[in-house]
Amino acid sequence: MSEVKRFIAGAVCPQCGVADKLRMFERAGDYYRDCVNCGFEEKMAFDERPPPATDRIGSDRDR
């Protein structure tokens, strides 16, 4: 199973404080976020909804 990681626009890394470096991904039904700048990784709260993808262009799923 491949993990699809998407950048979270405007999110600031709690460890290094750099914005737009956080990605979120799903693993085994849980949501995680990680930072490409410092390697920070964190499991997100269970009831926390993933943010909408901001890099989606077009409407592939409507086909």
Q: For residues 45 and 13, give the distance between their C-alpha atoms in angstroms, rounded to a whole number.
A: 16
Residue 17 near residue 33, CB atoms below 8 Å = no
The reply on whether position 15 binds Zn ion by CB under 5 A is: yes
The reply on whether position 19 binds Zn ion by CB under 5 A is: no
Please provide the size of the chain in residues: 63
Among the listed residues 25, 26, 40, 51, the single contact to Zn ion using CB under 5 A:
40
Query: How far apart are the two ends of the chain, measured CA to CA in Å?
Result: 24
The reply on whether position 5 binds Zn ion by CB under 5 A is: no
The reply on whether position 37 binds Zn ion by CB under 5 A is: yes
Binding site for Zn ion (CB under 5 A): 13, 15-16, 35, 37-38, 40
